């Protein structure tokens, strides 16, 4: 059972994932390479909660309870008792593989590794670990607190148990998860990119002008 979640990468996506995960009752470790990145991510989360209090969608007491579950750090050893670690680092295969290999030596053997990649091969990422059956893609959309859809992307060796665990996690944080076959761009980006390209062509041909 997932009780503690690590989120690696405190940028826009990572901070959003950490926020909704803490709000759902999980203990969360938000981690990045430098304190300035961690602090920025934590500040953005706190700003979102302050806005929620002003709007009346959350009370200050609720936010105080949620804050206790969220910890920001640069120490990767703090991930050593997480049941799930989600990476939201730069979209570069070599960096993600290096991270997963590092996590493999820190986290318990039962820990699931998830990648927020929007296009990279989960099978290739999983090959950097000794637990390819416990590696899966979990593609959130921006802004994470508002967007309900999540693409779950099993790799070639991802187990059914891992998929089920991630479905349960997504449901717990209020997301609608769809399981997507591993392919470039998955579903949403494969639809979005041609749409953007066609808009550029329409503009280039003078069919329409910018709004």
CATH of the domain at 117: 3.40.50.720
Q: What pLDDT shows up at residue 53? A: 97
Query: Encoding tokens for residue 132?
Result: 């390819």
61 in a domain, yes or no?
Answer: yes
Residue 11 domain boundaries: 4-183
Out of 115, 116, 118, 121, the active site residue is: 118
211 in a domain, yes or no?
Answer: no
206 in a domain, yes or no?
Answer: no
Whether pLDDT at 198 is above 90: no
Q: How far apart are CA 10 and CA 34, in angstroms?
A: 10
What's the Cα-to-Cα distance from 126 to each of 44, 120, 151, rounded to whole Å?
A: 31, 11, 17
196 in a domain, yes or no?
Answer: no
Q: Tell me if residue 182 is catalytic.
A: no
Tens-digit pLDDT profile for residues 59-112? 999 999 999 999 999 999 999 999 999 999 999 999 999 999 999 999 999 999
Q: Tell me if residue 118 is catalytic.
A: yes
Q: What pLDDT shows up at residue 206? A: 73
- Tell me what the pLDDT averaged over the chain comes to: 94
Contacts 24+ apart (CB under 8 A), 166-169: 166/112, 166/114, 166/136, 166/138, 168/2, 169/2, 169/5, 169/84
Whether pLDDT at 191 is above 70: no
Longest CA–CA separation in the chain, Å: 58
Q: What pLDDT shows up at residue 22? A: 99
pTM for the model stands at 0.91
Q: What pLDDT shows up at residue 210? A: 76
Number of folded domains that form the chain: 1
204 in a domain, yes or no?
Answer: no
């Amino acid at each position: 059972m997932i009780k503690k979640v690590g989120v690696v990468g405190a940028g826009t996506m990572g901070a959003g994932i950490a926020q909704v995960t803490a709000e759902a009752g999980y203990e969360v470790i938000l981690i990045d390479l430098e304190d300035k990145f961690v602090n920025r991510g934590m500040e953005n989360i706190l700003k979102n909660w302050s806005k929620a209090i002003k709007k009346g969608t959350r009370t200050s007491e609720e936010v105080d309870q949620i804050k206790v579950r969220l910890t920001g750090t640069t120490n990767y050893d703090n991930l050593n008792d997480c049941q799930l670690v989600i990476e939201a680092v730069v979209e570069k295969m070599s960096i993600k593989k290096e991270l997963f290999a590092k996590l493999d030596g820190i986290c318990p053997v039962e820990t699931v590794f998830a990648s927020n990649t929007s296009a990279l091969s989960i099978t290739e990422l999983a090959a950097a670990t000794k637990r390819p059956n416990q590696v899966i893609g979990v593609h959130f959309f921006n802004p994470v607190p508002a967007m309900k859809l999540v693409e779950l992307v099993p790799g070639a060796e991802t187990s059914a148990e891992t998929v089920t665990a991630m479905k349960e996690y997504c449901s717990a944080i209020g997301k609608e998860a769809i399981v997507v076959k591993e392919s470039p761009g998955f579903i949403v980006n494969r639809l979005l990119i041609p749409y953007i390209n066609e808009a550029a062509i329409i503009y280039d041909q003078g069919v329409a002008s910018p709004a």
